[in-house]
Amino acid sequence: MPVTITAIDAFHLRIPHDMWAEPPLFAGRPRTHVEAVYVRVTTDKGVVGWGECNGFSGAAAVTAVETLIRRVAVGQDPTDSELMPRIERMLHGLGRAGVIMHAMSGLDIALWDIRGKLEGVSVSKLLGGAKRTRVETYASLIQYAGNVENVKRITARALERGYKHIKLHERTPEAVAAARSVTGPNIPIKVDTNCAWLPGEADAPVAAMKASNPHWVEEPIWPPEDFESAAKLRKATGVPIAMGENATSPSDFRKMIAAGAVDFVQPSVNKIGGITHLWKIATEAEKAGITCVPHMFYFGPGYLATLHCIACKEREVPLERMFADVAQVPYAKTVPDVNGAVEVPDRPGLGADPEPELFERFRA
């Protein structure tokens, strides 16, 4: 029985969070909310799928979904594996990355959710089966602008809540040392610098972080597509390098791996083109000996999509989880994070739909 997409809608949610200190600026405004864009795809069989776009694209992503994506996807068969490649080619002249690819990411995730629901199997099953049923999460602290007291205080809080991996968004060796003084030697500490340095500026601070044994240093170089400079830094310091949340296609990942720039690749499901591209990147990278640890700073359908990919891929890695008190955590009851770990749902599709109250309470 053929299935047809009958409607596509997008919802911009802003869910307040408390990071227990002054929020940093992000893209021009204080980071006080979980920004999210959820995509709902309805079919004529009554099956509804959910996806998610990069939330900071906000109203721009909603517009892209409800104009461009809706126009090319309504009336199509959601089980057609050629649908996404066809749409990608059809829209390529509008840009191969950014908001348009964020919108396609939301559609792609929703299509996987629909396919699982139609077949009565989980997305993990569609990806070949989960290799693990439980995935550890890591506490990804928001940025505390080098304030070592805050870094210590919030790191201690993450450990109290059961997390066994920490990520900082800090740029100074002192901040990393502060976190290490709290964790002791055995907790992996990842350090995300968000493209802090021009080539040549990064060697000294990254080398100085080495004393605190960072698990990786993430996106040390501006611009993020300068893979040659990242490779030089990696070689010069011997510090493991992670990147990829700002890459724009599977071919970018091939290039960064070929350049010797990375130890860990981090495609972001809400930005890179959804599960289809993320899965391709993870598979290719791990075949090449590079570990895929997807970027995930959200809580919606993209979080579940990433959870399934991590459950199914070759190498075991933790799932990123933004560390803050959020006014309402999506899937808190259906897919709870307990003491720094989540059970991989084996219900059809992604395994849970977003709670209706989210849309009543937090629609932007």
Provide the minimum distance between the beta carbon of 15 and Mg ion in the complex, in angstroms, as a whole number.
20
Residue 240 or residue 346: which is nearer to Mg ion going by CB? 240
Residue 34, SS3? strand
Provide the minimum distance between the beta carbon of 245 and Mg ion in the complex, in angstroms, as a whole number.
5
Residue 241, SS3? strand
Provide the minimum distance between the beta carbon of 268 and Mg ion in the complex, in angstroms, as a whole number.
9
Residue 55 or residue 349: which is nearer to Mg ion going by CB? 55
Residue 64 or residue 141: which is nearer to Mg ion going by CB? 141
Verify cis geometry, omega within 30 degrees of 0, for the bond prior to 2.
no
Residue 136 or residue 192: which is nearer to Mg ion going by CB? 192
Cβ atoms within 10 Å, residue 200: 11
Q: And the tokens for 97?
A: 């990355």
Provide the minimum distance between the beta carbon of 64 and Mg ion in the complex, in angstroms, as a whole number.
23
**Distance separating alpha carbons of residues 117 and 14, to the nearest angstrom:** 28
**Distance separating alpha carbons of residues 36 and 53, to the nearest angstrom:** 7
Provide the minimum distance between the beta carbon of 56 and Mg ion in the complex, in angstroms, as a whole number.
13
Question: Is the separation of the CB atoms in 80 and 9 below 8 Å?
Answer: no
Provide the minimum distance between the beta carbon of 14 and Mg ion in the complex, in angstroms, as a whole number.
21
Residue 108 or residue 192: which is nearer to Mg ion going by CB? 192
Question: Is the separation of the CB atoms in 206 and 237 below 8 Å?
Answer: yes
Q: And the tokens for 120?
A: 């009565």
Phi and psi of 327, rounded to 5°? Answer: -55, -40
Residue 17 or residue 117: which is nearer to Mg ion going by CB? 17
Identity of residue 55 = G
Provide the minimum distance between the beta carbon of 243 and Mg ion in the complex, in angstroms, as a whole number.
8
Beta bridge partners of 30: 25
Residue 88 or residue 245: which is nearer to Mg ion going by CB? 245
Identity of residue 93 = G
Residue 221, SS3? strand
Residue tagged 């919030």 (tokens): 154
Q: Which residues bind Mg ion (CB under 5 A)?
A: 192, 245
What residue number has its CB nearest to Mg ion?
A: 192
DSSP per residue, 42-73:
EETTS-EEEEEE-GGGHHHHHHHIIIIIHHHH
Alpha helices in the chain (DSSP H): 58-64, 70-73, 83-90, 99-119, 123-126, 148-160, 173-183, 203-209, 227-237, 250-258, 274-287, 301-312, 356-362
Provide the minimum distance between the beta carbon of 242 and Mg ion in the complex, in angstroms, as a whole number.
8
Residue 116 or residue 224: which is nearer to Mg ion going by CB? 224
**Distance separating alpha carbons of residues 44 and 42, to the nearest angstrom:** 7
Provide the minimum distance between the beta carbon of 246 and Mg ion in the complex, in angstroms, as a whole number.
8
Residue 226 or residue 245: which is nearer to Mg ion going by CB? 245
